[in-house]
Chain A
Amino acid sequence: MMLERSELKRLRLPLVAALLLSGLGVAALVYSQNNLANAERLRNEGHARLVATRDRLTKVSEEEQEIRNNLVQFKQFEDRGMAGAEKRLEWIEALAAIRQKRRLFQVQYNLDPQRAVDYPGVAEDQKGGSAIFIANRVKLDLSLLHEEDLLNFLADLSASAGSFASLRSCSITRTERGGAAGGPLRPRLRANCVIDLITLKARDKT
């Protein structure tokens, strides 16, 4: 049965009503579906939080033990000077004192701006602005009589500067061969070393 155009016009109102009813139904369906999906999401999130909290509760003794272990280790690092604040003035004075004490010919230093410790093995999230440890790189140019002067210098620096010193590289070059006996003492070796003086970054801010 084919309806004519004039007859189709008579169906306009029922068609609109049918569309409205269908639209109402679909809107109700969409609304309830959205609410249900949202509620399911909230339930899943809440369940995950509950599981995580329960998990933390069951591991609370392990967590406490871990904190105690961390505290012990941190104390050890503090004892080694790693947890101290930056002390540039003390370092400079220490360099002068060691030179004086060890009667070294010459100690030239160059103190770079501080930067995050970026050694291999350090976690990536500790290498940027969120780094906890800061390296103050010191480039040393030493004129030495013999190699033991260097080892003594490094040992004194590590012991006296109040900071943790991490030697990164050292280049020792002979500057005089077969020195003339009986003459005034002259440097026979030259050492160029790179040392990082490591400190804890702005401890009060963390």
Chain B
Amino acid sequence: MAEKRLLYLTAQRLQAYSWKAGKLLAGGTFEMGDQGVTEFARYVGTSPKSLYYVVADVIEEDFFQENIPYVRGKDRRMLIGRKIAQRYRDTSLALALSLGTQEGARREDRILYSSFTNTQPFQAWLAALRTNEAKLVGFYSLALIAPLVAKRLKPAAARCIIVSLQNGGMRQSYVEHGKIRFSRLGRADPTDPHAAAESCAAESNRIVLYLINLNILPRESGPLDVVALAPAAHREAYQAAWGDNPRLKLNLIDLESACRTVGLKSAPPEMLGERLFLHVLAGAQPGEQYASDALRRFYHLWRARLALLSGGAAICAFSLLLSGVRLVDLHGITSETEKERQQETSVRGEYDRLQANFPKTPLPREVLKSAVGTASAILRQTVFPDRLFVEISQALAVVPQIELDKLDWEITSNPRARAAAGPAKPAAPAPAAAEPSAAPAQGEANRYYEVADITARINAVKASDYRGVGAVVEQFVQALRQRPGLEVIGTRTPLDTLSEKAVTGDVGEQERDEVPNFTVTVSRRIGA
């Protein structure tokens, strides 16, 4: 953590303090002038890593309130910038505080502008800081720190005047709802409690009248709290100076007690009220301050560096943490895997022990299983045609006019497809039959059929007697169909060819010698 250096700047001198863990340590006093600035520059150069907080306590601090149209973003920044430029000569030390919005005919922002009417005395000190590339956190005033002090001391009322006596003089700051509205530095002798008390009472009365005249403080708001930070020994002097004041209500807080309340452990003895303000500033670091970005550029650079390194370190730390969690998971998974591997070895051993009692096989087991499957498939479709031939012979015996010419027999798994491709016309299936269609249905792929194409001729019937031929063939087909398990799946007679070719003939007395023939296809399921 970088060291914090607080620079208390008055019209006469700059007093430097370092702050660490609630302790303020004197760093040096540098008088206004070239020699003081040179010594200050040397002081800054001794600790390039420190963070610097400048706290000005001068008379020239100015407060001015004005409403602006309710705009946001770039327009608001431009508008406020223009207002500041119109009012103050040096805009590098200026700020605009928002006091909230005001609803009326149109919505407006209440802005409190503040700067210094003369920034010339600061320039030498700021130049020394810049030359040494010091990290200026901000340029503050006691007035800007007063709301923080009020917040820490928790006064009863929302509006109060905080009065404190510093080496720079007596500072009176009017705080309303946690925001600074006005502040003034008056002269006071810190060594004379009575004079300081009288000055406090008189100046407080003047400020109240001023605030009422500017409509900052409502006229009928009742007595205003004045929080006076003074040593406990000065209590009587303050109460005596205060008298019976209907506008102001004195709330005297012991400075030592207040310092303890806010956590200040120690401070150089020559410090007066400023020690409380400097300690509160070092602990809180408020956003409202005067210095422009140009004056704070080395601080911004330091913050960017810090952000980069912190970001990288955070990513690295987070990733390492996540990796660590994963490695813990990995350890668990590896243990689990090893445990299961041991279980598997045990189970496999048991299986091998039981397997050793299996019967010996002539082939490896898987090959044996495949061989049995294949052999079964071969057996299912192996048959000799003797039974089918007997069935056909018995059907031929029923129709003696038929004389067999040729018989083509084969085994197939799809007899209808074969009949469709073969010489015989597919026959309408018998009513009771439920044979497969041309494409074998699902589940019928393992059914096999023996199929025979029977080609025969018909004696004692003339070729031109198509009706006679048809009747004989039909008689033969019926005889085949009566055989159990036999299916006629196709026929081809001379009548079937009538539509396929040119037909010539003589219907006179001369008859042709041609012998009519036909083809019938039958099938029988193997194993039926």
Contact = CB atoms under 8 A, between A and B. Distances in A.
A92 interface: no
Interface in A121-154: 121-123, 125-126, 131-133, 147, 151, 154
Contact of B312 (A21, A43, A82): A21
B484 interface: no
A22 B330 CA distance: 23
B377 A29 contact: no
Contacts of B384: 151, 154-155, 158, 167
Interface stretch (B74-82, B99-107, B266-274, B349-357): B349-357
B409 A32 contact: no
Contact of B308 (A14, A32, A56, A167): A14
A155 B383 CA distance: 11
Interface in B300-320: 300-301, 304-305, 308-309, 311-313, 315-320
A102 interface: no
Contact of B403 (A77, A119, A177): A177
Contacts of A31: 323
Contact of B369 (A22, A66, A158, A170): A66
Contacts of A14: 304-305, 308-309
Contacts of A125: 370
Nearest to B407: A172
Contacts of A67: 358-359, 361, 365, 368
Interface string B268-309: 000000000000000000000000010011001100110011
Interface in A84-138: 117, 119-123, 125-126, 131-133
Contacts of A131: 374
Interface residues of A, number: 79
B363 A32 contact: no
Nearest to A50: B344
Contacts of A154: 384
Given A11-B308, A60-B354, A132-B367, A169 B320 contact: no
Interface residues of B, number: 81
A24 to B, nearest CB: 5
A10 B305 CA distance: 9
Contacts of B372: 70, 73-74, 77
A168 B411 contact: yes
Contacts of B340: 43, 46-47, 50
Given A11-B305, A22-B311, 19 more contacts: A1-B293, A14-B308, A21-B309, A21-B312, A32-B323, A32-B324, A53-B351, A64-B357, A67-B358, A82-B375, A120-B413, A120-B445, A123-B370, A133-B378, A166-B382, A167-B384, A169-B411, A170-B385, A203-B363
6 contacts: A21-B309, A24-B316, A32-B322, A77-B371, A121-B445, A122-B378
Interface of A: 1, 3, 7, 10-11, 14-15, 17-22, 24-26, 28-29, 31-33, 35-36, 39-40, 42-43, 46-47, 49-50, 53-54, 56-57, 60, 63-64, 66-68, 70-71, 73-74, 77, 82-83, 117, 119-123, 125-126, 131-133, 147, 151, 154-155, 158, 164, 166-174, 177, 198, 200, 203, 206
